[in-house]
Chains A and B, each alone.
Chain A
Amino acid sequence: MVHIVPEIIKESVTNLVKNGERTDGRAFDEYREISLETGVIEKAEGSARVKIGNTQIMIGAKPQIGSPFGDTPNVGVLMTNTELLPMAAPNFESGPPDENSVELSRVTDRCIREGKVVDLEKLCIVEGEKVWMVFLDLHVIDYDGNLMDAAVLGSVAALMNIKIPTAKIENDEIVLDYDNMIPFPVNEKALMCTFAKIGGALLIDPSLEEEEIMGARLSIGMTEDGSICAMQKGGAEPLIRDEILKLVSIAKLKTAELRTHLP
């Protein structure tokens, strides 16, 4: 991704921040408007469309039966993939995933996996043979900053939206009973909260304009009990210990606020 930002924007945004203001008039700890819909794709077993401001991601969750990994024979499989669609931003290009796409997939996956959002052991059908695998496909359709918080919020919603058929073993074969659909085993709602550091200030939910000029970024994933399950620092500038601790305590309140958007 190429960043072309005139110095003048950097200066004006930074000066605003130094006066305690943001370009869109938000408070430093205020999210843009959030909307979350689930079940938006008829053919997907689970889906969600999430918007934070003008940022928009469509998420599909697809369960399939497959073989478990050799070292975890009784555990289901979760795979996360991201597409930064060319229509979402002038600098997104089609082709193999770039580092931004890979980072978004990995951080989303980490928050969901380490936060134990899905009870992967309940996805085992026959130990060592067959398990449910779930593919999370994130399609970024409009990019206006803070993809990570939107990606995790939408992914948790899409997982909660999945219904799977009951799997039974008859004559050594797996029979799926589509008349008895069961909800996917989601037992935790881990969410992520991202901050940008601009001109010494820490702002939640950075817009694209803010992301392009930020010095550092910190994303914090938290479970419902306020424990930390994932963290990722980005950006070239450093953060100091007390800033990180402060952001952890703000993230505790803000992830709880985000959680109210889930069904």
Chain B
Amino acid sequence: MRDMVVACAAGKSDGNVVLDLSEVEDKEGEADLPIALMPRTGEITLLQMDGHLTEEEFQKALDLAIGGCKKISEEQKKAIKNRYGD
């Protein structure tokens, strides 16, 4: 097994670049950027975007989503260790 892939979305809502869009933010927001990440290597295996982002906003959203993926990866590892560890 090479890695445990995780996914997370960032986007834009009410003019702000935000992580983990809620239902309302997703529907009413200006952009949505879901990605999937291989946490060990930092490689992006899935990427889609729709909406409207400038180059700067996109970079910010991409970095937020990568950060979100890493956080989820830690939680995922914790959950697996709690269940199956020791």
Chain A residues close to B by CB (< 8 Å): 110, 113-114, 218, 223, 225-233, 238-241, 244-245, 248-249, 252
Judge whether B48 and A231 touch: CB under 8 Å: yes
Asked, given contacts A238-B43, A240-B42, A241-B44, whether A248 binds B50 with beta carbons under 8 Å apart, the answer is: no
B19 at interface (Cβ–Cβ under 8 A)? no
* Interface-central residue, B33, B42, B51, B53, by most chain A CB under 10 Å: B51
Judge whether A230 and B50 touch: CB under 8 Å: yes
Judge whether B48 and A244 touch: CB under 8 Å: no
Chain B residues lying within 8 Å of A218, measured Cβ to Cβ, are: 47
Of all chain B residues, the one with the shortest Cβ separation from A218 is B47
Main secondary structure of the interface of B (DSSP, over half): strand
Chain B residues close to A by CB (< 8 Å): 33, 38, 41-55, 58-59, 62-63, 66
Judge whether B49 and A231 touch: CB under 8 Å: yes
Of all chain A residues, the one with the shortest Cβ separation from B51 is A114
Judge whether A239 and B44 touch: CB under 8 Å: yes
Asked, given contacts A239-B43, A240-B44, whether A229 binds B38 with beta carbons under 8 Å apart, the answer is: no
Query: Can you name 28 A-B pairs with beta carbons within 8 Å?
Result: A114-B50, A114-B51, A218-B47, A225-B54, A227-B53, A227-B55, A228-B49, A228-B52, A228-B54, A228-B55, A228-B58, A229-B50, A229-B52, A232-B49, A233-B45, A233-B48, A238-B38, A238-B41, A238-B43, A238-B44, A239-B47, A240-B42, A241-B62, A241-B63, A241-B66, A244-B47, A248-B58, A249-B55
- The distance in angstroms between the C-alpha atoms of A230 and B41, with both chains bound, is 26
- The distance in angstroms between the C-alpha atoms of A238 and B46, with both chains bound, is 8
Of all chain A residues, the one with the shortest Cβ separation from B42 is A240
New A-B contacts (10) at CB < 8 Å, excluding given A110-B50, A231-B48: A114-B51, A225-B54, A231-B33, A232-B47, A233-B44, A238-B45, A240-B42, A241-B44, A244-B44, A245-B62
- The distance in angstroms between the C-alpha atoms of A228 and B54, with both chains bound, is 6
Of all chain B residues, the one with the shortest Cβ separation from A249 is B55
Of all chain A residues, the one with the shortest Cβ separation from B30 is A114
Chain B residues lying within 8 Å of A248, measured Cβ to Cβ, are: 55, 58-59
Judge whether A240 and B43 touch: CB under 8 Å: yes
Min CB–CB distance B85 → chain A (angstroms): 29
- The distance in angstroms between the C-alpha atoms of A231 and B49, with both chains bound, is 5
Judge whether B42 and A241 touch: CB under 8 Å: yes
Chain A residues lying within 8 Å of B47, measured Cβ to Cβ, are: 218, 231-233, 239, 244
Which 5 A-B pairs give the minimum distances between C-beta atoms? Answer: A238-B43, A231-B49, A233-B47, A114-B50, A238-B45
- The distance in angstroms between the C-alpha atoms of A223 and B47, with both chains bound, is 19
Of all chain A residues, the one with the shortest Cβ separation from B35 is A233
Of all chain A residues, the one with the shortest Cβ separation from B41 is A238
Judge whether B44 and A230 touch: CB under 8 Å: no
- The distance in angstroms between the C-alpha atoms of A231 and B52, with both chains bound, is 11
Chain A residues lying within 8 Å of B41, measured Cβ to Cβ, are: 238
